[in-house]
Amino acid sequence: MALNGTDLRVAAGVWVPWVVLKQDQQGFLTATGVLIDLVNILAAKLNFTYTLVEAIDGEWGRLLPNGSTTGMIGMCQRQEVDMALGPFSITYVRSKIIDFSEPLYIDTVGIFLPRPRLERDLAGFTKPLAWKVWMVLLILLVVSMTLGALLNWLAFRWSLPNVGKAVGGHLFQPIWIWKALLVEPIEVPPKSLTGRVLLGSWLVAAGILGAAYQGVLTSLLAVPRVSVPVDSLRDLVNYGRIPWAIEQGTSLHQLFGDAESGVHKQISDGSFLVTSLFEERERMKEERFAIICDFFSMKKIMSDDYSNTGMCNYYIAKEVIWSTAMAFAFPKGSRLPVHFNKWIVMMKECGLVSRDLQQLTANATACMVPPGKEGGVTTLVLSFADLAGIFLLLAAGLTMGLSALLLEKLNCSVKADSPTSKSSDLAITTSR
């Protein structure tokens, strides 16, 4: 047969579920996983045995500035092993120092982060209108009140005859604007033409704004939307509230580490290194940080977590950073890829690889939806926490009103106890 019982030295590193390494009681390295099953099939077809060798530095492989290479890629470059399992991303830098087999599958790279949650917002009742609308509304309110005061001053100064006929001797009362905005009844309408024009304008504007505000607020409260702050590398850098990590010794470590400018350089400068996504899956959920990694690992972690907890605790950002083919690695000029490629193509055509990938990530489908839509579109039963902002605003208004009442009461008491008021009362009594 092809390899005639040759014993191959095979470099391997832990990558759940591809390769899981263990040491038996005699100290020999054993392995299980999807890739080990494929290698066993290849070993039977090509008639070879293999001995596993673990990378000393625990890396997959990076080309250093001095020309040396780390990890399992370096072991292949130095011909310390006959092949390395990986699977490895096929990159131009790596292809110059090693050979690759036919790709096992195509994967993408993105951002994996804790799932955004619905947060209570005390200022939620202001969200139906943009801040620019609130600002314009405030400006118009101030301008209208100032205009009303100016009209009253001019009317008194010019002794206009219709001032006396107006309500309380005023052409326009500022309280009318507040009543229009709050949909309060106006018992006595303005009798002057100027007051009617101003009030009519505010009534029309208040009716339109009120209807729009009520409709949008109802939809926001009944079907809340979860804000997703990070969906790309640029978002990750600009947001500034989520730390991020890169898996050490991987092609991504090389990609970002070699960047000299742009967002990739910013990602490299602001990142910290982790061993693997699988080892950090619980810590990243608790400490709320992101990891840039491959799409299959993201779906695998998401699927396992949903199977164990019944919840969606992770989120995959929309941006695809890059796509890459994954393959075995061999020393440059090795004769082994020719024998391996024939059977790798046959296994791919039979669907062995894609079948295993789908089975291992089956439960991730439930979480591959926008945050807030995990259980479908459901209405929200509003609690006190959802309306806390409105109640706080009401409490502030009541406090201000009570304070004004106490001040007025105190002022009246001071006037009643003053010597001037007592002498006036005495004069009135004496005259009587």
The closest alpha carbon to 220, from 112, 49, 414, 372, belongs to 372
Domains in the chain: how many in total? 2
Bridge partner residues of 237 (DSSP): none
What is the structure's pLDDT at 164? Answer: 46
Band of pLDDT at residue 431, cut at 50, 70 and 90? very low
> In whole angstroms, what is the distance from residue 49 CA to residue 9 CA?
9
Predicted confidence (pLDDT) per residue in 331-362, tens digit: 999 999 999 999 899 888 888 888 888 888 88
Domain boundary among 174, 190, 222: 222
- Domain enclosing residue 167, as ranges: 124-222
User: Would you say residue 186 lies in a domain?
Assistant: yes
Residue at 160 is within a domain: yes
Distance CA 32, CA 40 (A): 10
Q: What is the pLDDT of residues 30-54, one digit of tens each?
A: 888 889 989 999 999 899 999 999 8
Residue 329 lies inside a defined structural domain of this protein: no
Is position 395 within any domain? yes
Residue 198 lies in a domain: yes
Q: pLDDT for 238-289, tens place per residue?
A: 998 899 999 998 999 999 988 999 999 999 999 999 988 999 989 998 889 9
Asked if the structure places residue 133 within a domain, the reply is yes
Give the whole-angstrom CA distance, residue 261 versus residue 273. 20
Highest mean pLDDT: which of 120-124, 176-180, 377-381, 385-389? 176-180
Report the alpha-carbon angle 341-343-349, nearest 5.
105
Structural domain contains residue 402: yes
Q: Are 369 and 116 in contact (CB under 8 A)?
A: no
From 194, 222, 250, give the residue that closes a domain.
222
Contact 19, 85 (CB under 8 A): yes
Domain boundary pick from 222, 244, 270: 222
Whole-prediction pTM = 0.68
Please give the pLDDT value at position 149.
74
Q: Is residue 83 part of a domain?
A: no
